[in-house]
């Protein structure tokens, strides 16, 4: 029993230390960004645009397919199970809660972690292992500012845009599929879905998507820059980054949702 508690305590301590490292990295990057303001603006803008293209634009197809499938399945299931069992408009409220308020941000965050988070972790870890970043440091270029700041800006922007895109595709697919596959009186109405949306239904997924994107960027960059000199550490860093990013997104999702409910 004592050994199990000791191992558990060691894991908790290690997780707390990694969280502190991520927080310190974010603080250093923001401080460097403030100190470097006005300098290397063209270089930073180019890096941010490239990261947005890779993280956001190149993921449009995958996000569209996931959104369409989820929109059709969710709309049909909600309409099928709740038709005649609940008051008018309840199915539309349920669809709004699922397809706008709760699921899109966390699903888009998961796609970004699996697709882009592993990529930047592997890239940064490879730079560290092969010492490819040392010439930058030798020329006085702040390494964390150059490598982390563009991703810290691009990830929240890409996550926000992809979430909005996801919501639009999911609602559109559901609006098309429901009348065709489940026609009849009291059929699912997209007009009622939009009418049930309040300011919080728009603000919450927007905040979640930006927060998830920022946390994923910081966690993955910290994991990539935290490797030593062994190439074996690169896949290990990618695995840690994916696991930690999922945990961070789930924890932040719970915190934000509970904050709204309470």
Q: What is the pLDDT of residue 207?
A: 93
pTM of the model: 0.83
pLDDT tens string, the chain, 262 residues long: the values are 666 666 666 666 667 777 777 777 777 777 776 776 666 656 677 778 888 888 888 888 889 999 888 888 887 777 776 655 555 566 677 778 888 888 899 999 999 999 899 999 998 888 888 877 666 666 566 777 788 888 988 999 999 999 999 998 988 888 888 777 766 655 566 667 777 777 888 899 999 999 999 999 999 998 888 887 888 888 888 998 999 999 999 999 999 988 887 7
Residue boundaries of the structural domains of the chain: 57-261
> What sign does the CA torsion over 33, 38, 44, 45 have?
positive
DSSP-assigned letters across all residues of 190-251: HHHHHHH--HHHHHHHHHHHHHHHHHHHHHHHHHHHT--S-TTHHHHHHHHHHHHHHHHHHH
Query: Which DSSP symbol is given to 57?
Result: G
């Amino acid at each position: 029993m004592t050994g199990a508690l000791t191992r558990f305590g060691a894991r908790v301590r290690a997780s707390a230390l990694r969280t502190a490292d991520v927080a310190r990295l974010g603080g250093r990057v923001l401080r460097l960004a403030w100190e470097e303001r006005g300098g290397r603006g063209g270089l930073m803008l180019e890096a941010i645009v490239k990261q947005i293209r890779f993280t956001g634009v190149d993921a449009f197809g995958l996000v569209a397919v996931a959104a369409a499938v989820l929109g059709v399945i969710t709309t049909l299931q909600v309409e099928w199970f709740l038709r005649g069992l609940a008051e008018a408009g309840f199915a539309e409220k349920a669809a709004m809660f699922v397809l706008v308020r709760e699921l899109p941000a966390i699903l888009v965050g998961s796609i970004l972690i699996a697709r882009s988070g592993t990529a930047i972790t592997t890239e940064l870890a490879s730079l560290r292992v092969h010492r490819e970043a040392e010439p930058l440091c030798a020329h006085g270029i702040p390494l964390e500012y150059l490598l982390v700041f563009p991703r810290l800006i691009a990830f929240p922007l890409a996550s926000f845009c992809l979430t909005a895109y996801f919501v639009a595709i999911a609602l559109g697919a559901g609006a098309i599929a429901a009348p065709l596959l489940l026609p009849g009186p009291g059929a699912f109405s997209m007009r009622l879905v939009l009418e049930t949306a309040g300011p919080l239904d728009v603000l919450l997924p927007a905040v979640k998507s930006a927060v998830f994107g920022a946390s994923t960027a910081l966690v993955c960059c910290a994991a990539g820059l935290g490797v030593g000199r062994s190439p074996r550490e690169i896949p290990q860093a990618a695995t840690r980054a994916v696991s930690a990013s999922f945990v961070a997104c789930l924890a932040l999702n719970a915190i934000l949702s509970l904050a709204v409910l309470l």
